[in-house]
Structure 1
Amino acid sequence: MLTAVLFVIIVALLVWLFKRGPRDYAPNPFAEDTCRPPKPLVTDKAARKKVLKQSFTAEKVPENLDAVVIGSGIGGLGVAAILAKAGKRVLVLEQHSRAGGCTHTFSDKGFEFDVGIHYIGELQEHRSLRVLADQLTDGQLQWAPLDNPYDVLVLGSPDSRRDYPIYSGERRFPDELKKRFPEESTAIDKFMQLVQVVGRDVRFMAILKMIPKPAAKFLIGTGLLRILSPFFKMAPRSLAEVVEELTANKELQAAFTYIFGTYGVIPKNASFSLHALLISHYLEGAWYPQGGSSEIAFHLIPVIEKAGGAVLTRAPVRQILVNEAKKAYGVSVQKGDGEVQVYAPIVISDAGIFNTYERLLPKEIQTMPPIQQQLGMMNHGQGGLSIFVGLKGTKEELGLKACNYWLYPDNNIDELTEAYYRSSREDAAKFSAFVYIASPSAKDPTWEQRYPGKSTLTMLTFVSFDWFKDWEKEQVGQRAAEYQNLKEAFIQSLLNAAIDVYPLIKDKIEFVDAGTPLTNQHYIAAPRGEYYGCDHDLARFRPEVCAGIRAKTPVKNLYLTGQDLFLCGFAGALAGAQLCASTVLGRNVIWDLERLRKKLEKESEMKKMKAG
Structure 2
Amino acid sequence: MWLLIIWVSVLIWAAGTFWFLFKKPSPFSASSVRPAEPLELDQKKRDKVLKQGFTKEKIPANLDAIIIGSGIGGMTAAATMAKSGKKVLVLEQHDVAGGCCHTFTEKGFEFDVGLHYFGQLHENGLLKVAMDQISEGQLEFVELPQHFDSIVIDDKGKRRDYPILSGRVEMEQNLKKLFPNDVKAVEEFFKVMKLTARKTPLMAILKIIPQWFALFLIKSGIANLISSIFRLSDFNATEMNYKLTSNKDLHLIFSYFFYGVAPKESSFMINALMLHHFKRGAYYPKGGASEIPFHVTKVIQKYGGSVLVRAPVSRILVDNKGTAYGVTVKKGEEHVEIRAPVIISNCGIFNTFQKLLPTEIQTKPEIQSRLDMMRPGKASFLLFSGFDATQEELGITATSTWLFKSNDMDGMMDDFFSMSKDEAPENVPMVLITFPSAKDSQTSQIRHPGKSCMTILTMVNYEWFEDWKDTRVRKRGDDYFSYKQRFADHIFNWACQHFPKLKDKLVYQEAATPLTNMHYLSCNRGAIYSADHNLERFYAEAMARNRCDTPVKNLYLSGQDIFSCGIAGALHGGLLCASTVLNYPVYIDLYLLKKNLKWRKAKETAKLAEKKQQ
TM-score per shorter chain, which class?
over 0.9
Which of residues 170, 175, 178 in structure 1 aligns to 2:176? 178
Following the alignment from structure 1 to structure 2, what is the Cα–Cα distance between the partners of residues 16 and 370? 35
For 2:272, the equivalent position in structure 1 comes to 276
8 Å contact from structure 1 (residues 533, 568) kept in 2: yes
- The alpha-carbon deviation at position 448 of structure 1 amounts to 0.7
Of 528, 534, 556, which residue of structure 2 is paired with 1:537?
Answer: 534
- When normalised by structure 2's length, the TM-score is 0.95
Q: Check the 8 A contact 1:20/1:587 in 2, yes or no.
A: no
Query: Is 2:61 the counterpart of 1:29?
Result: no
User: Does structure 1 retain, via aligned residues, the 8 Å contact 2:39–2:287?
Assistant: yes
Distance of 1:77 and 1:538 partners within structure 2: 28
2:582 is matched with which residue? 585
- Structure 1 pair 433/169, CA: closer, same or farther in 2 (3 Å)? same
RMSD: 1.7
Counterpart of 1:452 in structure 2: which amino acid?
P
Q: Which residue identity is paired with 1:325?
A: K
Deviation at 1:426, TM superposition (A): 2.4
Q: Secondary structure, in 3 states, of the residue corresponding to 1:258?
A: coil
Question: Are the equivalent residues in 1 in contact too, given 2:437–2:453 (CA < 8 A)?
Answer: yes
**What does residue 141 of structure 2 align with?**
143
For 1:170 and 1:267, how far apart are their aligned partners in 2? 25
- 64 and 191 in structure 1: CA distance in 2 versus 1, 3 angstrom threshold: same
- Give the drift of 1:416: 1.1
Q: Deviations over 1:369-416 (max 9, x none)?
A: 211110110101110000000011111111111111110111111101
Summarize the Cα distance change of 1:252–1:18 in structure 2 as closer, same or farther, 3 Å threshold: farther
- Distance verdict in 2 for CA 1:23–1:146, change over 3 Å: closer
Aligned to 2:455: 458
**SS at structure 2 position matched to 1:503:** coil
Structure-to-structure mapping, 1:141-290, within 5 angstroms: 141-156=139-154, 159-259=157-257, 261=258, 263-290=259-286
Alpha-carbon distance in structure 1 between the residues aligned to 2:252 and 2:126 = 30
Counterparts of 1:59-138 in structure 2 under 5 Å? Answer: 59-138=57-136
1:509 equivalenced with 2:506 (yes/no)? yes
Query: Which runs of 5 or more structure 2 residues have no equivalent in the other structure?
Result: 1-9, 610-614
Q: In the alignment, what sits opposite 1:484?
A: 481
Matches of 2:183 and 2:600 in 1, distance apart? 41
Q: Tell me, in whole angstroms, the C-alpha distance in 2 between the residues paired with 1:414 and 1:59.
A: 53
**Per-residue deviation at 1:21?**
3.8
Q: Percent identity?
A: 46
CA 1:559–1:16: 2 relative to 1, 3 Å = farther
Match of 1:565, as an amino acid? Answer: I
SS at match of 1:528: helix
Deviation, structure 1 residue 158 = 8.1
3-state SS in 1 of match to 2:152? strand
Contact 1:73 1:101 in 2 (8 A): yes
Aligned match of 2:7 = none
| Corresponding residue of 1:5 | none
Q: Which residue identity does 1:390 align to in structure 2? A: G
Which of 407, 432, 439 aligns to 1:436? It is 432
> 1: distance between equivalents of 2:248 and 2:48?
52
Q: 1:17 to 1:129 in 2, by over 3 A?
A: farther
Q: 1:19 to 1:116 in 2, by over 3 A?
A: farther
Which residue of structure 2 lines up, in the alignment, with residue 473 of structure 1?
470
Q: Which runs of 4+ in 1 moved over 3 A?
A: 15-26
Deviations 1:496-515 (A, max 9, x none): 11111211112000001100
2:300 is aligned, of 298, 304, 310, to: 304
How far apart are residue 20 of structure 1 and its match? 5.5
1:524-559 alpha-carbon deviations (Å, 9 max, x no partner): 111110021111101101222111111111111111
Residues 438 and 19 (structure 1), Cα distance of their counterparts in 2 relative to 1, 3 Å cut: farther
Indicate the residue corresponding to 1:575 in structure 2. 572
Q: Distance in 2 between matches of 1:218 and 1:286?
A: 39
Q: How far did 1:461 drift?
A: 0.4
Q: Distance in 2 between matches of 1:189 and 1:62?
A: 55
2:5 aligned residue: none
Paired residue secondary structure (2:314)? strand
Distance in 2 (CA, whole Å) between partners of 1:485 and 1:423 is 18
Q: What letter matches 2:161 in structure 1?
A: D
Distance 1:320 1:16, change over 3 A: farther
The CA deviation string for residues 57-89 of structure 1, in whole angstroms up to 9 with x for no partner, is: 000001011111000000111100001111111
Instruction: Note the alpha carbon deviations across 1:557-576, whole angstroms, 9 max, x for none.
Output: 11111111111111111111
Q: Is the 8 A contact 2:224 2:231 kept in 1?
A: yes
What pairs up with 1:318-467 in 2 under 5 angstroms? 318-444=314-440, 445-467=442-464
Task: Give per-residue Cα distances to partners, 1:14-68, cap 9 Å, x unaligned.
Answer: x999945449975210144311111111111100000000000000001011111
C-alpha separation between the residues in 2 aligned to 1:424 and 1:168?
A: 39
Contact (CA 8 Å) 1:153, 1:163: kept in 2 or not? yes
| Local SS of the residue matching 1:315 | coil
Is contact 2:559–2:573 with CA below 8 Å preserved after alignment? Answer: yes
Quote the residue 2:37 is aligned against.
Answer: 39
* Distance 1:267-1:166 versus aligned 2 partners, 3 A rule: same
Contact preservation (8 Å) 1:82, 1:581:
yes
- Say if 1:327 and 1:315 are closer, same or farther in 2 by CA, change over 3 A: same
Q: Which residue of 2 aligns with 1:8?
A: none
Quickly say closer, same or farther: Cα 1:600–1:392, change in 2 above 3 A.
same
Q: Distance in 2 between matches of 1:23 and 1:138?
A: 22
Distance 1:558 1:187 in 2: 46
Instruction: Say which SS state the counterpart of residue 29 (structure 1) adopts.
Output: coil
Cα distance 1:163–1:399, how it changes in 2: closer, same or farther (>3 A)?
A: same
Secondary structure of the 1:563 match is coil
SS of 1:218's partner is helix
SS of match in other structure, 1:147: coil
Q: Is the 8 A contact 2:254 2:272 kept in 1?
A: no
> Alignment partner of 1:506: what SS?
helix
C-alpha separation in 2, matches of 1:57 and 1:86: 26
- Contact residue 265 and residue 534 of structure 2 kept, 8 A: yes
Gaps of at least 5 residues in structure 1 are 1-11
What is the DSSP-based 3-state SS (H/G/I as helix, E as strand, rest coil) of the residue aligned with 2:508? strand
Are 1:71 and 1:92, in contact at CA under 8 Å, matched by a contact in 2? yes
The answer as to whether partners of 1:120 and 1:286 remain within 8 angstroms in 2 is yes
Is the Cα contact below 8 Å between 2:254 and 2:271 reproduced in 1?
no
* Maintained 8 Å contact 1:332/1:340: yes
